[in-house]
Amino acid sequence: MTETRIAADVIAAENERRQSAHQSDYEALGARLSRQSIDIEAVTAKVADFFVAVPSWGVGTGGTRFARFPGLGEPRHIFDKLDDCGVIQQLTRATPTVSLHIPWDKADPKALKARADALGLGFDAMNSNTFSDGADQAHSYKFGSLSHVDAATRRQAVEHNIECIELGAALGCKALTVWIGDGSNFPGQSNFTRQFERYLDAMRDIYKALPDDWRLFSEHKMYEPAFYSTVVQDWGTNYLIAQTLGEKAYCLVDLGHHAPNTNIEMIVARLIQFGKLGGFHFNDSKYGDDDLDAGSVEPYRLFLVFNELVDAEHRGVKGFHPAHMIDQSHNVTDPIESLIASANEIRRAYAQALLVDRAALEGYQSGNDALMATETLKRAYRTDVEPILAEARRRAGGAIDPVATYRASGYRARVAGERPAVKGGSGGIV
């Protein structure tokens, strides 16, 4: 029996108030879609089967380079974080797994597994951290980790990643995500080639420790914390890494890790074509790695990314199963509300992409009818699919309006009483 963090009768009462209007909306949308020969039930079933992992670090309040303003009832440790992730899953039914960050979330694997099981949660990709120094580590990562000039520092970073694999294996995880902050701040500071050779050698050692059924995701990011050059800076370098390491190595695309105006959906298409798309860190951005809520700034871009994913699904691309994860930092909102909203936006983009008339699109593309081709995408994007999302949640035991239900539950005030504010906390600024 799953432990519920929000009382079932609160969800039932909130759904009851909305059920009649929701039912009408769902039926009206069903009628509209059936005129386009789309079966709403088939779309709802697919949406209900689409899941995205919540990052453990996302339920704490983030910060900026300048300051961090703590929220009420912030999770004090991984077990509080799991409780908050349980709330998000209970209301959205879209987030059954949690992505852990080590060493922030380090704990006895048996205790982690037991708590997650009790909340009806599982674990997604493990994330290593060699971009900051732990309290008791022998070698500093100030000048890099996997690509550091010093062999002992590289070894320490490799061993940390292997430890993440071992902990993940005990939790039932099947992937490790590696993002490093290595790079340089001054021209001439590092030899680009030697540095990348050292990185690849270290990644080979991590790759060797990977269980057979695991995948290794390398995550590129254009800049920051290094501001002149970054070792894994773009999808081209990322692809070279995945190609060099082997068939268990894939590229992870974080939507905020590109130059402004980059055509991210096209990068996604390329990685799919060459079998190296490992998965996503969903978020949104205006300028850089802003880590804003998915779909909050550029919902059309999110839709266009999903258009590529659904296209691959439609074509039956072999071995296509990208991992879906959220990677956000919540500075001014209740992190639980942001993660609920983001999970919904991600499902929304998927649902809209499912509505694209792919036969018509192909016809317009073949006929060089640019206007009608783009209108075909817009027609799907303009469709308000909220009734489909709400119905998928409702049928799975979630909330028709999850943010309103969360607010009605008084959860934040309750945990604020149970969790005295701690200075610092873990995983604040990400």
Where on the chain is the footprint of Mn ion (CB under 5 A)?
Answer: 254, 281, 327
Strand ranges of the sheet holding 54-55, from the earlier edge strand across to the other edge: 54-55, 97-99, 122-123
Give the Cα separation of 280 and 283 in Å (integer). 9
Residue 279 phi, psi dihedral angles, 5° rounding: 165, -170
Beta carbon nearer to Mn ion, 157 or 356 = 157
Tell the smallest beta-carbon distance from residue 169 to Mn ion (Å). Answer: 22
Tell the smallest beta-carbon distance from residue 127 to Mn ion (Å). Answer: 8
Beta carbon nearer to Mn ion, 44 or 283 = 283
Instruction: Report the Cα 74 to chain-centroid distance in Å.
Output: 21
Tell the smallest beta-carbon distance from residue 224 to Mn ion (Å). Answer: 12
Tell the smallest beta-carbon distance from residue 291 to Mn ion (Å). Answer: 8
Give the Cα separation of 94 and 282 in Å (integer). 14
Beta carbon nearer to Mn ion, 327 or 334 = 327
Contact status, residue 112 vs residue 83, Cβ threshold 8 Å: no
Contact status, residue 56 vs residue 430, Cβ threshold 8 Å: no
Beta carbon nearer to Mn ion, 281 or 393 = 281
Tell the smallest beta-carbon distance from residue 400 to Mn ion (Å). Answer: 31
Tell the smallest beta-carbon distance from residue 284 to Mn ion (Å). Answer: 13
Give the Cα separation of 226 and 374 in Å (integer). 39
Beta carbon nearer to Mn ion, 65 or 318 = 65
Beta carbon nearer to Mn ion, 22 or 281 = 281
Beta carbon nearer to Mn ion, 281 or 412 = 281
**Burial status of residue 360 (CB atoms within 10 A of its CB: 0-12, 13-18, 19 or more):** middle
Beta carbon nearer to Mn ion, 217 or 239 = 217
Tell the smallest beta-carbon distance from residue 281 to Mn ion (Å). Answer: 3
Residue owning tokens 């995550």 = 219
Contact status, residue 268 vs residue 256, Cβ threshold 8 Å: no
Beta carbon nearer to Mn ion, 103 or 120 = 103
Report whether the peptide linkage leading into residue 75 is cis, meaning its omega lies within 30 degrees of zero: no
Beta carbon nearer to Mn ion, 254 or 334 = 254
Tell the smallest beta-carbon distance from residue 219 to Mn ion (Å). Answer: 6
Cβ within 8 Å of residue 289, ≥6 positions away: 221, 222, 224, 254, 256, 257
Contact status, residue 330 vs residue 319, Cβ threshold 8 Å: no
Tell the smallest beta-carbon distance from residue 99 to Mn ion (Å). Answer: 10
Tell the smallest beta-carbon distance from residue 107 to Mn ion (Å). Answer: 22
